[in-house]
Amino acid sequence: MIFSKKKITTEYTVEQCTKCGTITKRKFHQGDILFTEISHCHSCDGLTRIEKIFGETVEQ
């Protein structure tokens, strides 16, 4: 019996608000650069900064 597992890597971007510290995890978008301030926080008027970009590998 042959097992064929397919591995899929999904990249994620973690943003953290520089004002209130709220962390948001979302899927990586083309053009995301580490430690850049890109969007506005949902909870306050602060800017969110990209803290981490990582990949998660899932076997299917």
Interaction mask 38-57, Zn ion, x per CB under 5 A = ---x-xx-x-----------
Q: Is 15 in the site for Zn ion (CB under 5 A)?
A: no
19 or 52: whose CB is closer to Zn ion? 19
Cα distance between residue 31 and residue 20, in whole Å: 25
Cα–Cα–Cα angle for 11, 13, 18, rounded to 5 degrees: 170
24 or 28: whose CB is closer to Zn ion? 24
Q: Which residues bind Zn ion (CB under 5 A)?
A: 17, 19-20, 22, 41, 43-44, 46
